[in-house]
Amino acid sequence: QSALTQPASVSGSRGQSITISCTGTSSDVGSYNLVSWYRQHPGNAPKLMIYEGSKRPSGVSNRFSGSKSGNTASLTISGLQAEDEADYYCCSYARSNNWVFGGGTKLTVL
Amino acid sequence: EVQLVESGGGLVQPGGSLRLSCSASGFIFSSYAMHWVRQAPGKGLEYVSTISGDGGGTAYADSAKGRFAISRDNSKTTMYLQMSSLRAEDTAVYYCVKDQSGSFCFDYWGQGTLVTVSS
């Protein structure tokens, strides 16, 4: 199972919006509405930010939103804040109790 | 409050074995599948293995098949990962992760335990 494709880095100014893409195949992202997104600050464990493509866990800011079109999922963060600077990973269920992650995107808040 | 605490990591020689443990609290352990996810130094996340709530079902990434064995003891609210035939490429932080039932995602993560495979 190949990793999902994410841009290595994105950046945005405080208050702006950014979108991180996550491209898979018809065997994972395209087949299931089961993409999740995780934020990881340096030295910390990942945190679930979006699940089932667009749902937010309790406590996650509504500045975070997710969507999907075909084999590509996207995470949008609006109103960028300094605390958003982190690595972001997408993940998709890929049948037979298997999951595949993206390579990760480093978000820099300018 | 959900807490997941990994232990058992350390330095091991190539070809060696190691058993990781994950002690869980704050939720009904036997009701949830659990996973192991790893992260090599400076690299991304990689799915490793899953075990169902009752322990009767398991799954492995191709990289772990035949070398790793996941198990759990619900009476001790603890999950394990027995790793054998370890290779340098298994060097990583291993995270214990709780399943968000029905959503096929990972809602709580431990802080991880570092496994270093080196001679």
The pLDDT of A78-102, averaged and rounded, is 94
Mean per-residue pLDDT over chain A, rounded? 95
Residue A90 and residue A108 in contact, taking contact as beta carbons nearer than 8 Å: no
Residue B106 and residue B96 in contact, taking contact as beta carbons nearer than 8 Å: no
Report pLDDT for A77: 98
Residue B113 and residue B25 in contact, taking contact as beta carbons nearer than 8 Å: no
User: B104 vs A1: CB contact, 8 Å cut-off?
Assistant: no
Judged by a CB distance cut-off of 8 A, whether residue A47 touches chain B is yes
What lies within 8 Å, CB to CB, of B119 at 6+ separation is B13, B14
Exposure of A18 in the CB half-sphere (CA atoms within 13 A) = 21
Report pLDDT for B102: 87
User: B105 vs A91: CB contact, 8 Å cut-off?
Assistant: yes
What's chain B's Rg over C-alpha atoms?
13
**How far is Cα A80 from Cα A20, in angstroms, rounded to an integer?**
13
Closest to B31 measured CA to CA, from B51, B61, B7, B58: B51
**How far is Cα B23 from Cα A96, in angstroms, rounded to an integer?**
26
Mean per-residue pLDDT over chain B, rounded? 97
Does the pLDDT of residue B48 top 90, yes or no? yes
Residue B93 and residue B81 in contact, taking contact as beta carbons nearer than 8 Å: no
Smallest CA–CA distance, residue B11 to chain A, in Å, is 20
User: A97 vs B50: CB contact, 8 Å cut-off?
Assistant: yes
Smallest Cβ distance to B45: which of A55, A96, A101?
A101
Smallest CA–CA distance, residue A29 to chain B, in Å, is 13
Report pLDDT for A97: 77
The pLDDT confidence band at residue A2, using thresholds 50, 70 and 90, is confident
Judged by a CB distance cut-off of 8 A, whether residue A3 touches chain B is yes
Closest to A78 measured CA to CA, from A5, A14, A10: A14
Residue A28 and residue A14 in contact, taking contact as beta carbons nearer than 8 Å: no
The pLDDT of B59-84, averaged and rounded, is 97
Q: What is the pLDDT of residues A24-54, one digit of tens each?
A: 999 899 998 999 999 999 999 999 999 999 9
The pLDDT confidence band at residue A1, using thresholds 50, 70 and 90, is low
Smallest CA–CA distance, residue B15 to chain A, in Å, is 25
Does the pLDDT of residue A96 top 90, yes or no? no
Chain B residue closest in CA terms to A45:
B111
Quick one: what percent of chain A has pLDDT higher than 90? Answer: 90
| Terminal-residue alpha carbon distance, chain B | 40
**How far is Cα B48 from Cα B6, in angstroms, rounded to an integer?**
15
The pLDDT of B57-72, averaged and rounded, is 96
User: B46 vs A101: CB contact, 8 Å cut-off?
Assistant: yes
Tokens of B12: 């091991």
Residue B49 and residue B57 in contact, taking contact as beta carbons nearer than 8 Å: no
**How far is Cα A22 from Cα A14, in angstroms, rounded to an integer?**
23
Write out chain B residues lying below 8 Å of A99, CB-based.
47, 104
Closest to A3 measured CA to CA, from A104, A75, A76: A104
Closest to B50 measured CA to CA, from B27, B79, B77, B24: B79
Between these two residues, A96 and A14, which has the higher pLDDT value? A14
